[in-house]
Structure 1
């Protein structure tokens, strides 16, 4: 009987230890989802090139964070293969990202879209990013942007 109890205790410790290892590999924000089957940065870039303004596509992709909102972590820019970035916002402001994750890899799940961003919105995001007054003043025309509304994000360590 003692051997069975020892075996059960050791088994539980192994399972708990494995669960903690898995948890440190990835932090999850928003809804739970599996990262497997995600598009690569190159595949996502190609998908965006075929989209028109107002098109939307439910998808998930892997990318590297280039920039995060320094006010609250309420948006991030994720690099794509061709040097462009996807502006990732979070569905219904349901969650925020840590402000210090630039350079880290993420998997984002949600809705990809293309939009024309107004001058006011561009300036607002530039302020959030901590850009200088001179840089913000240079923004003077709307631009086509690649957007993404994430309902979940996996942050890889």
Structure 2
């Protein structure tokens, strides 16, 4: 009889511990989901995922090892430094000590002109190219640079470039 009582107590204790662990796991899952949902995004262009996104530092390292002609399909998150003030047809994104010129596949979509300062997620193809003086001047004009600043552009330069097929913009980007 004594053994039966001990077995019952062990069974009750085991069930009670499992219920506590399950409750803690459920609370942990809810907390993780809350963190993941902390930033709601609006999608522009093709649907892209907010999972497996590279950081600014990670993409900057990738760019350092690339030569003109190299390409890599990636998704990364970074701060928008500037947006074309004509149509929103390009944006410059922070790469730490440089910027990446982001254009949109087939001019199929455009960014809000007031997006500078927001952190966005872009998906597409990263590459390095030599940008001509003419193209540099065109983009400087689109960015609203002065005539003097535009005239000072006299040499081609190595540029970090990106063709995006989709962008995720924080729904509250105006508040950033």
TM, length-normalised to structure 1 = 0.83
Higher-helix-fraction structure: 2
What secondary structure, in the 3-state scheme, does the structure 2 residue paired with 1:46 have? helix
What secondary structure, in the 3-state scheme, does the structure 2 residue paired with 1:45 have? helix
Unaligned runs of 5+ in 2: 1-36
1:4-153 equivalences in 2 (<5 Å)? 25-81=40-96, 83-153=97-167
Distance, in Å, in 2 between the alignment partners of 1:89 and 1:138 is 24
Distance, in Å, in 2 between the alignment partners of 1:25 and 1:35 is 10
RMSD value, Cα: 1.1
Larger Rg computed on CA atoms:
2
Q: State the aligned residue count.
A: 134
Q: Deviations over 1:68-114 (max 9, x none)?
A: 00000000000012x21110000000000000010000000000000
Distance, in Å, in 2 between the alignment partners of 1:60 and 1:121 is 25
